[in-house]
Amino acid sequence: MKKIISTSEAPAAIGPYSQAIRSGNFLFCSGQIPLDPKSGQIVSGDIAAQTRRVLDNIGAVLKAEGLTFESIVKTTIFLTDLADFQTANETYGSYFKQQFPARSTVQVSALPKGAKVEIEVIAVADDGKSSGDMAYDTSG
C-alpha cells in the first residue's frame, strides 16, 4: 500500500512524480531542488542559500506526515560542482541535531532548472514498536 504525499509548503512536482510516497513506516521523498514553493523559481544566491531552500522544502514534506529531520535515515546529495561540498555540508549539518543519517554525495553534470544542488531523503516513522536501538548481525 502506498500513499501519495503532497503539500503546498513545498514546491509542486515539475514532472510526473510525487513529492513523496509513504509506504508503511517509510517515507520516500523525491529529490528537491532549490525552488521557492510560492514562486516556483530557483532561489538566487550561493550554494549555502540553495542548500537551505532545498532542506526547507524537505522539512515541509516531512512535516506533512508529522516527521522531522530526526526521522531521516538516508540522504543522497547531488551537486553540480564538488568544490561546493564543504559549504553544502556545513549547511546540511545544521539541520540535524544528532545521529546523522547515512548519506551519499555525488557530482552530476546538470540538475533541473540550473540548480546547483538536489537532495532526496528516506525517512522512517517511529511506530512505537521498535525492537530497541540495537542492530544485530543475522548473517549466520
Contact 47, 88 (CB under 8 A): yes
The answer to whether the beta carbons of residues 42 and 113 sit under 8 Å apart is yes
Domain that residue 21 falls in? 3-124
Q: Report CA-CA distances (Å) from 55 to 1, 26, 93, 130, 132.
A: 27, 19, 10, 27, 29
The cell for 72 is 531521516
The identity of residue 85, as a single letter, is F
Tell whether 130 is covered by a domain: no
The answer to whether residue 56 sits within a structural domain is yes
Q: How far apart are CA 64 and CA 20, in angstroms?
A: 10
CATH number for position 102:
3.30.1330.40
Read off the pLDDT of residues 81-122 as tens digits, 9 standing for 90 and up: 999 999 999 999 999 988 899 999 999 999 999 999 999 999
- Structural domain tally of the chain? 1
21-80 per-position pLDDT tens digit: 999 999 999 999 999 999 999 999 999 999 999 999 999 999 999 999 999 999 999 999
